[in-house]
Each structure stands twice: as C-alpha cells, then as structure tokens.
Structure 1
Amino acid sequence: MPDHTVKAYDEQLSRLRDTLMRIGGNVETALAEAVSALGRRDAAAAAAIVQRDVEVDALYRSVEDQAVRLLALRQPMANDLRLIVGAIRMGLDLERIGDYASNIAKRAIVLSQLPPVVSVGPIQRMSRLVQEMLKDTLDAFASYDAAKAKDVWQRDEQVDEAYNAVFRNLLTYMMEDPRNITPCAHLLFVAKNIERIGDHATNVAETIRFIVLGEEAEGERPKSDDSPFAIVEPPAGG
C-alpha cells in the first residue's frame, strides 16, 4: 500500500492490518489446538481454547472501532477505502472461525467423556486441508497476493469432498449400532464446523481479492457438499 503524507494515517492503517493478522493467528491456532485436543481426548486443553475465544471477540470489536474511526475522520478513497471496508468483512469471517473452533473444543470436551467408537483420523485430515487454506489466506493478506487468495478460493471444493466422505462414514457407524449415535453425532457437528471454517476462509480470500484488485470473485464458488442428498445403504442384515 502507498505511503501517505500524514504519518498518523499510515500508522492507523498499519494498526488495522496488524489487528486483523492477530485475529487470524489466534483463530488459526485455536483450530489446530481444538482438533488436536479432540484426537488426544484432552478436555483440559479444549476448555482452555473455549476460554480464549473472548480474546478473538475483543480483537474483532477493535477492528470495527478502528475501521469506523478511519471512515469518519480520514474520508478514505480508492485502495484505502477498500482496505477499511474489507477489514470489517475479514474481521467478521475470522471471528466466526474463532466461534467454530470454540465449538469444536466444546464437542471435544463431551467426546472425551464418551467411549471412543470411531477413529477421528478422517476429521483430522479434513482439518489439515482447512488449516492450510487459512494459513495461505493470511499469507495472501500479508503480501497483498490476489493470485494466492484465488488459489485458496478454488480449494474449497476439496474440503467439501472430504466432508462428504466423513459424513457418510459417520452415518454408517450410526446405522450399525445405536450406541454409536451420540458420539458420531458430536463428530458430525465437528466435521460441519470444520467445513464452515473452510467457507469462511474462502470468504476472506474473496475479500482479499476485493482489497487488492477492487474486484469481486468471478463466477460461482466451487462447491461439492452433497451431504443433504446423501443416501447411505443400511448394513447387510439390518
């Protein structure tokens, strides 16, 4: 971004960007730690993630306050205006990612108290796809790289495909034994939360393209979530 003649203005814009990056770093860590706590069945670690969500909320309020102040006092134009408006959009998506990570941690607490009935490996692999998307999105924002943001936008379909596979697998376990229903239902919510985080990371990627190029994403977002139409065959003899 170009420098301005008023140094304080540059400092305010820089602070806004830094606050967004702090939110991004926090939610990226929260997602990774929530899924790790799920795999380790670590209720204490999961509870700590839930408690830290208030930090993300506070940072998002700071983004809103900074953006409104800049709009009111600086009357920004062109690139600066796109950055400030985009910051509000990004901040909201990142805050929602933090909420979903907190929800995953809450499910991990419940699941740690239930007998393990199914491997969480597929959910962990799905989460790694989303974590990579989120990391690349934040890198794209740090470097104002619209091409990298577009690459993230195009990868959302991979997350949907992974979610569909997890969805069908868990439904099969639920049909095989009624005792699996409660833990598998919690895991379904975890998987859906991860899928939604992927959607919000894609939203952020779209906003980065808007900030850098002044353009919204072209065409429909690639999507492959067919879970609402899933048909699972009952187990043999059922």
Structure 2
Amino acid sequence: MVVRERFHGDLKALREKLVEIGSLTEKSINKSFQALTEKDVEAALAVIDEDYKVDRLEEEINDLAILLIAKQQPVAVDLRRVIVAIKIASDIERMADFAVNIAKSTIRIGKEPLIKPLEHITQMHKLATEMLSLSLKSYYEEDIILAKKVAEMDDQVDSLYGETIIELLNLAKEKQEALPQITQLLFITRYLERFADHATNIAESVFYLVKGKRYDLNE
C-alpha cells in the first residue's frame, strides 16, 4: 500500500510539472507575440533568455518518468500515463521553441513599421494558445471530447495559415523592398501553424492515454 501511495504521489508530481511547463510555454508564446505587435525587441530578448526554464523542466519530467518506470514498473494505464507525460513534455518544449523563433523574427524585423495589419496572424495566435490550454485541460481531465475539439480547431489554424501565406506571397510581388520583413512574417505564420500541430499531438496523446491506441487527429 505504501509503495502504491508513493507511486501515485510521484504521478501527481509529474502532472504538476506538466502544469508548470505548460504555463511557462503559454506565457512565452503570449510574450513573444506581444513583442511582435509592439515591436518590442527587449521583450523578445527576454523570451529567448527565459527559454532555459522550459528546457530544464522537460529534463526534470523525463528524469522523473524514467525513474518511475525503473522503480515501479507500472503496467496498463499507469504505464501509459508515464509515457504520455514524456511525450507531452516533448511537444510543449517544441512549442516553447516556436515562441523563441517568433521572438527572433521580431528582433530581425526590429522597429520597422509592419507592412500590413496582422489580422490573420493574430487569429492564428489566439487559436493556437487556446489549443494549448484546451489540450492540457483534456490531459488533466483525461477528456477525449476536449481533445477532439483541439483537433477541430487545428483545421481553422490550417485554413488561416493557407490564406496568410498566399496574402504574404502576393504582397512580396508588389513590395519587393519589404521582402526581408515579409520573409519573417512568413516564418512566424509557419511557427504558429506548427505550434498548433503540437497542441494536436497532445490531444492525440490523450486519446492514447484513455483508449490505449493511437489516433491520427490531423487527418
């Protein structure tokens, strides 16, 4: 009984670390996007400087998960909980990297006035951050209905991504002098699309956790 209680205590610690890494990444993507809209290079540098916190937490999650498997030898759903924690931590760390990439693009754009309003890109950011929050909630609650909603939101992001790419490429033909900035905006659009994909990966992990089999929600 004591061993079992310790195992569940460690599982709880694992979940709490995932809460923390998810919160840090959500703050990171919001800070980087705010830096972009406000052309705030200092804020963008801060996002880059703070990325080590996410990397450190991912390492702690992996170490704890490996220790749990080695010492407790969990089976069935308990083993899936540990494996899923490792996978989700990896997805979240990649999402934080995309926040850093947006910050780097913001620095490259600098104080230069934006070539166009960021309407579609702003919508993509809003959806992507909502997807992160919802995917983590679906994990905490082991709720596949919420996980399915995340996948549906990804379709909206993909649609906005396609529209934005076409718009920016057309703009590049008209205003070649703005090509360096347009290139960075194309990168940012891609980073947000990939950010949303990783949120969908988390939703797929929830399906695996609950159902015990893999589902491709990106189809």
Q: What letter is aligned with 2:40?
A: D
Match of 2:218 in 1: 221
Distance in structure 2 (CA, Å) of the matches to 1:16 and 1:93: 15
Distance in structure 1 (CA, Å) of the matches to 2:186 and 2:192: 10
**Alpha carbons 1:4, 1:10 under 8 Å: kept:** no
The 3-state SS of whatever aligns with 1:56 is: helix
Match of 1:80 in 2: 78
Distance in structure 1 (CA, Å) of the matches to 2:11 and 2:177: 54
Distance in structure 2 (CA, Å) of the matches to 1:148 and 1:115: 39
Match of 1:58 in 2: 56
Output the TM-score relative to the length of structure 2.
0.95
**Alpha carbons 1:153, 1:205 under 8 Å: kept:** yes
Unaligned runs of 5+ in 2: none
How many residue pairs get matched? 219
Q: What letter is aligned with 2:218?
A: R
Distance in structure 2 (CA, Å) of the matches to 1:220 and 1:16: 25
Identity of aligned residues (%): 33
Runs of 4+ aligned residues of structure 1 deviating over 6 Å after TM superposition are: none
Q: What letter is aligned with 1:213?
A: K
Q: Over the residues paired in the alignment, what is the CA RMSD in angstroms?
A: 1.5
| Correspondence for 1:190 among 188, 191, 207 | 188
Distance in structure 2 (CA, Å) of the matches to 1:17 and 1:100: 23
Match of 2:26 in 1: 28
The 3-state SS of whatever aligns with 1:155 is: helix
Match of 1:69 in 2: 67
| Correspondence for 1:143 among 141, 144, 163 | 141
Return the offset for 1:186. 0.3
Deviations 1:29-50 (A, max 9, x none): 1111111111111111111111
Return the offset for 1:69. 0.3
Match of 1:225 in 2: none
Q: Does 1:161 align with 2:139?
A: no
**Alpha carbons 1:60, 1:95 under 8 Å: kept:** yes
Match of 1:39 in 2: 37
Distance in structure 2 (CA, Å) of the matches to 1:170 and 1:10: 50
Residue 163 to residue 4, structure 1, CA distance change in 2 (3 Å) = farther
Unaligned runs of 5+ in 1: 223-238
Q: What letter is aligned with 2:28?
A: A
Match of 1:18 in 2: 16
Distance in structure 2 (CA, Å) of the matches to 1:22 and 1:60: 10
Match of 1:97 in 2: 95
Bigger Rg, which one: 1
Return the offset for 1:6. 2.6
The 3-state SS of whatever aligns with 1:21 is: helix
| Correspondence for 1:131 among 125, 129, 132 | 129
Match of 1:227 in 2: none
| Correspondence for 2:174 among 164, 167, 176 | 176
